Amino acid sequence: MNGIIEISGIEKEYRMGKITVPALRGIDLTIMQGEFVAIMGPSGSGKSTLMHILGCLDTPTSGDYFLDGEKISAMKKSKLAAIRNSKIGFVFQTFNLLPHLNVQKNVELPLMYSGVSPRKRAARAREVLSDVGLGDRLRHKPSELSGGQRQRVAIARALVNNPAIIFADEPTGNLDSVSGSDILTIFSNLHAKGHTIVMVTHDSAVATRASTRVNIVDGLIG
Amino acid sequence: MAISIKESIVAGVTDFWSRKIRSAVTILGILLGTMSIIVVLSLVNGIYSTTTAWMTERGGLTKIAIDNNREYDNAQNLPEYFTLQEIELIKSLIPEATAVNPQMSSWLSMSYRDKKENGLLMGVYPDYALVEEWTADRGRFINDFDVNQSADVVVIGTKIRDELFGSKNPLGQFITINDRRLQVIGIMEHKFLKNNGIGNANALGWMNRRALIPLSTMIHKGTGQDHIEELTVKAASPEEAIDLKYKLEAILLNLRAGQPVFRIESNMEQAEEMQKNFQTMRIIIFFISLVSLFVAGIVISNIMLATVQERTREIGIRLAVGARRTDIFIQIVVQTIIIFIIGGFIGVVVGLSLLSVVSGYLGQPIIAARWVIITAVASTLCVGAITGIFPALKACNLDPIKALHYE
């Protein structure tokens, strides 16, 4: 059985002037369809770098990466943008919503870049927003929402394109414990519905929600 | 799978509205650039057409005028006038000319009963009407019979008629010039050309002060000498006017021992010279306006760069959710162009309104030709596209990870 994500021998080096800093030193990992994986590790361990590569925001220095059967490690940037758009949904610690767009428009954004008509976009955005319990906040600006609500908008945006996989980078890091717990419940429900989720966290309490835990230490799986 | 131009325009307009003051200032810059191209080019055209209208009123492009050359130092005391015999000789040498008019003139006092008025008395041939494209609109002009008979007849300009006769009909009346009684046989058409300046002055008012009599009358019953100072000739076409001018130059040099005693001027040649000068002027002015437009463009480019800087994180988010670099590039270029389109449009409107105000002040219509408007709009959009490219390149080359973490 093939995984939705298969990586082997992934290395990533950063050049800082004449010094080369290794961030990932040969990572092999397979994530199966429907899995909820928590990537854990202290800061500086390379977990964020791994997620950027898995999320197609960055490319590895060496190694192979297959996502949903497609070889990502050899792709051009324009192709990576299309992959991000169609196969990946991101949820960030700092929400990363566009402040001048209302909730619905924020959620519509990925659909705009995949060429969906405005009417279909609006309908789909409303659908996902009511799924995360924000059906009555469509016209609000992000600044008019609480942190937990903002993160739910971000989850709706990540889901709107029916992605193969959802990446969440410390999704509860900026939230109080109640809101954080709500958000984790949403992720658990999505997992129960069959979504594949990869979450980066340094909080082991958060990681208990996941079905699989991966620890990264000094650029290697520990 | 990409964002459409329409989406980019919507995004651009939204962004434009959310930064009202900045947008207003940039628009002002573009507006002034576009406006100045339209206004200045149209004013140059206006002056050009007024000057051409003046030339047409003064006999058109086929007219050639000969008088004595004031720059020539006549040490040999060669005659600076033509005799009747010479006129006939010249006339026989240029059969291609459609009209030949020798003329003498003198500034004199003219009187009717107790009224007096100063005017220019001119002795002419019937061809005068053809050369000047100006004839009597009441009564008749001088004919060959008048010349043969040295008849005591006069055709007067409207100014002289008004001063001497008021509302009375002058035809058939006698006016006295230099103690000689001349019968009024015609009134010349009123000459009028709006002065290209202040007020309602008539630039051709002096022509309405002319009184025309047969040349023979002037010679035989006036001065007694056939010293003809001026000769005007009409060619069949503006092109032929230049050839005819060169031919006349040769004839006149032959008549005066190879000396440039006479000056020959062709309206056509002057018009061509003028055309060249105006073309140079247009080009210079266009470039000055273009430079000012570019200065506005650089300022806008700078502002857009600052905008890109401010929106680094937004661009990172857009890239993360699947925007391609071309999408970002198009979005920024389109935003810049939108500013230029709005600025250019207002510039055209303001420019045209300003022209109508200037027209009202000068008392003559100055109309922006279609090519002037097209030139202004096209150069505005070109500058917009060129200055939009640089910030757009910067935006689309941002690293998504760094952009996402930009504070």
| Closest CA of chain B from A95, distance in Å | 10
Q: Taking the mean position of all CA atoms in its chain, how far away is CA B387?
A: 35
Which residue stretches of chain A have pLDDT < 50? none
Interval B251-287: pLDDT, tens:
999 999 888 999 998 888 888 888 888 888 888 888 8
Q: Which residues on B lie below 8 Å from A108 (Cβ)?
A: none
Q: Taking the mean position of all CA atoms in its chain, how far away is CA B6?
A: 44
- What pLDDT is stored for residue B25 in this prediction? 81
Q: Which residues on B lie below 8 Å from A57 (Cβ)?
A: 319-320, 400-401, 404
**DSSP sequence for chain A:** ---SEEEEEEEEEEEETTEEEEEEEEEEEEE-TT-EEEEE--TTSSHHHHHHHHTTSS--SEEEEEETTEE-TT--HHHHHHHHHHHEEEE-TT----TTS-HHHHHHHHHHHTT--HHHHHHHHHHHHHHTT-TT-TT--GGGS-HHHHHHHHHHHHHTT--SEEEEESTTTTS-HHHHHHHHHHHHHHHHTT-EEEEEES-HHHHTTSSEEEEEETTEE-
Quote ipTM for the complex: 0.91
Residues 6+ apart with CB under 8 A from A179: A146, A147, A148, A151, A172
**DSSP sequence for B385-407:** HHHHHHHHHHHHT--HHHHHT--
Q: How far is CA B185 from CA B117, B128, B135, B140, B150, in A?
A: 18, 16, 12, 6, 14
Q: Least CA distance to B331: which residue of chain A?
A: A113
- What pLDDT is stored for residue B2 in this prediction? 54
Three-state secondary structure call for residue A136: coil
| Closest CA of chain B from A55, distance in Å | 9
Interval A95-140: pLDDT, tens:
999 888 899 999 999 998 888 888 999 999 999 999 999 999 999 9
**Out of B321, B400, B401, closest to residue A157 by CB:** B321
Whether A77 has its CB under 8 Å from any CB of chain B: the answer is yes
Q: Which residues on A lie below 8 Å from B324 (Cβ)?
A: 78, 81-82, 113
- What pLDDT is stored for residue B1 in this prediction? 43
Residues within 8 A of B (CB atoms), A 108-147 only: 109-110, 112-115
CB contact under 8 A, A112 and B324: no
Domain ranges within chain B, ordered by starting residue: 5-55+274-404, 71-266
Whether A85 has its CB under 8 Å from any CB of chain B: the answer is yes
Residues 6+ apart with CB under 8 A from B275: none
CB contact under 8 A, A113 and B317: no
Q: Which residues on B lie below 8 Å from A157 (Cβ)?
A: 321
Find, among B256, B228, B232, B255, the residue nearest to B244 by Cα: B232
CB contact under 8 A, B321 and A57: no
Strand partners, A14: A21
Q: Least CA distance to A58: which residue of chain B?
A: B401
Spatial distance between the Cα atoms of B379 and B2, rounded to a whole number of angstroms: 29
CB B168 within 8 A of CB B140: no
CA angle B272, B273, B275 (to 5 degrees): 60
Spatial distance between the Cα atoms of B187 and B212, rounded to a whole number of angstroms: 10
The 3 state secondary structure assigned to B310-337 is HCHHHHHHHHHCCCCHHHHHHHHHHHHH
CB contact under 8 A, A100 and B14: yes
- Would you call B173 exposed, middle or buried from its count of C-beta atoms within 10 A (0-12, 13-18, 19+)? middle
Q: Which residues on B lie below 8 Å from A85 (Cβ)?
A: 1, 321-323
Whether A58 has its CB under 8 Å from any CB of chain B: the answer is yes
Q: Least CA distance to B404: which residue of chain A?
A: A96
- What pLDDT is stored for residue B340 in this prediction? 84
CB contact under 8 A, A115 and B1: yes
Domains (range + CATH), chain A = 5-221 (3.40.50.300)
Spatial distance between the Cα atoms of A110 and A201, rounded to a whole number of angstroms: 25
Find, among B41, B67, B156, the residue nearest to B110 by Cα: B156
How many CB atoms within 10 Å of residue B192?
13
How many alpha carbons lie under 13 Å from residue B366 in its C-beta half-sphere?
A: 28
Which residue stretches of chain B have pLDDT < 70? 1-4, 195-200, 364
**Out of A77, A97, A112, closest to residue B325 by CB:** A77
**Out of A90, A100, A114, closest to residue B320 by CB:** A90
CB contact under 8 A, B321 and A97: no
CB contact under 8 A, B327 and A113: yes
Whether A187 has its CB under 8 Å from any CB of chain B: the answer is no
| Closest CA of chain B from A88, distance in Å | 8
| Residue corresponding to tokens 């800093």 | A21
Spatial distance between the Cα atoms of B259 and B261, rounded to a whole number of angstroms: 6
| Closest CA of chain A from B384, distance in Å | 25
Structure tokens at B69: 């050359």
Q: Least CA distance to B401: which residue of chain A?
A: A57
Q: Which residues on A lie below 8 Å from B17 (Cβ)?
A: none
CB contact under 8 A, A161 and B322: yes
